[in-house]
A and B are shown apart, each in its own frame.
Chain A
């Protein structure tokens, strides 16, 4: 036993030493931890583009080459040191990692998180650790509606997932008025799939009451990879409209297997995060699908003339040889929010701001982003709202890329619940207070 104690003592000492060296580097830089999926199923469709988008925007910020109003170098003049790390491993692992980043590496802020499961696990820990945390992608409305009703340190800089499904229902009601008799869902059997279907079905109930949900909803296992039986069931069913929140490898598998059987010609698909794989699949991505990006990102931003957006499009394509999809935009937007908050707080304070001053600057703020602006309007100024857009895919031969036609913009006030109202009661009550 004594040897055991000595051994663990040595480990402790070694660990403490490493922690000490980490501390010494953190002088006049801003240390920013950026969790994103670098391994596992979430990496190709979400994590890696998110990483690329973050690296690009951080480079632009440090060099001061971004267009106005972000054309000053660094966060309030200090260079940004981004520590990008893996979000894989589940909630427990990520809570440990957050503690390591804050307590061991002494980061100044955290910008990231893709999975709703991770956000659910880390939100209250971030509050406890008093670390400024900007959640970038994760969709569950529970973050501020249930888990953290009085947020101080945690922000989310894009719409939660409810907005995306509500705008999908609006788009269907507008473009296919009276044509949709029934609809069916094909969603993965886990929190994201279940929530997406619930929100969509509730929104459809009010926006297209003539359309009836099928009694045969499909909830295949996540990462199942084989959808033969589901495709057969969809093809046999009489409902023409299919709602799916599939993403990543599962969506690519569905598209491959469905295309071979003519699924996308026979059915009208609404894919809430379909944009994440559309570029990757190129010409293999079917035409005529409604695909969502949870806001003005990726394919919906491609032609927007805003100089900041044009810079991002041009530099991203130059650096990585591919167009930026939504996660790249969403992570970059989170980092821009941090820059905006640091710069604004520094201007007000007249010197480099404290975390409290940065938080004050971000709370309830409206800041310009790649397309339009982000309003930190909900949950006491901690939950962002943006416009959302829906359109239909079409292959553009000249560009060699999928583009979108018949795009309709839905204002934030139309698709997100008003301040102080939780998503599910808002949807169940017929979306009162929505201004479309």
Chain B
């Protein structure tokens, strides 16, 4: 139990309390950005798991979009409950990741990255052709109900925010636990020396498969939350390849030091994008690219490494999750 209640546990718990309180004080637009950060942060968390195993996916918009469409379609058959919708979106993506994992676990490096991209673009192509699913115009998602109650107006997002924050908290803790378990520790072993891992009696392919399913579940969860927050799903802003790029961007921005990093990175990403959009409407992409360049050059381990720099300066204990 003492191992369970480490720094990350306390950090996440304090973080949860802070954002739950902040939820009621925040301006509406900031709350929405917070919601999106949690959704994108969850996907980046999935990428973090793969990243630690030395794998980068350029196609996780596949699972993000799959989860989002699963929520939209489940509403069509009458499922309006938020929790049920999110579970459906998450599981649907997990199953897809499980199926694709049999093929993808055999590939590494650029082949892994691009095969993911290929699968995501297949889904994009199919969705763009399917007129019954609204083609590129997408389909609308209604405000969900929470155990039979449907909040109206601003309350809808306050509720969804609380709801998402609590699930994200549980998910982040679970991933943190997983990463510090034997199975999770294999992540680094896969990256460092696969052959040695195999000699230890573990299957590298199976370890990767498990990680891939986890990352799929997390991306599906992110997509489901995004669908409910935005109220609309469409292939261009959910499945198209730049979305996969956004997730990789967030992962680089955050660094892989800690599960909390991805959510902070996602928030920073959303805020940078929002202000870049406001102050440079014609060259906002340039500012985003510039930010990435600065991070890669000066903070190669992401924003999280700032905490480690500061930690070292104060001669405190080594970084939490490593």
Contact = CB atoms under 8 A, between A and B. Distances in A.
Interface of A: 1-5, 7-9, 11-12, 15-16, 18-19, 38-39, 84-86, 89-97, 99-100, 102-105, 116-117, 120-121, 124-125, 128, 140, 142, 147, 189-192, 194, 219, 221-222
Given A96-B274, A147-B140, A121 B234 contact: yes
B261 A91 contact: no
Contacts of B11: 1-2, 4-5
Given A4-B261, A90-B234, A121-B230, A11 B14 contact: no
A1 B138 contact: no
Interface in B127-178: 128-129, 131, 134-138, 140, 153, 156
Nearest to A43: B282
A86 B288 CA distance: 15
Contact of A1 (B33, B258, B282): B258
Contacts, number: 158
A16 B27 contact: yes
B240 A11 contact: no
B76 to A, nearest CB: 13
B120 interface: no
B12 interface: yes
B281 A7 contact: no
A117 B267 contact: no
Given A4-B11, A39-B285, A117 B138 contact: yes
A92 B264 CA distance: 20
Nearest to A19: B27
Q: Which 9 A-B pairs have the closest CB atoms?
A: A1-B11, A90-B237, A103-B29, A92-B237, A191-B135, A190-B136, A90-B236, A191-B137, A121-B232
B232 A95 contact: yes
Given A1-B15, A18-B275, A121-B232, A86 B136 contact: no
B23 to A, nearest CB: 12
Nearest to B32: A99
Nearest to B280: A86
B236 A5 contact: no
A100 B237 CA distance: 18
Most B-side CB within 10 Å, residue of A18, A116, A120: A120
A128 B277 contact: no
A96 B232 contact: no
B255 to A, nearest CB: 11
Given A84-B281, A92-B238, A97-B277, 6 more contacts: A19-B29, A38-B281, A105-B278, A121-B138, A142-B134, A189-B129
Given A95-B232, A96-B36, A100-B29, A3 B306 contact: yes
Contacts of A94: 237
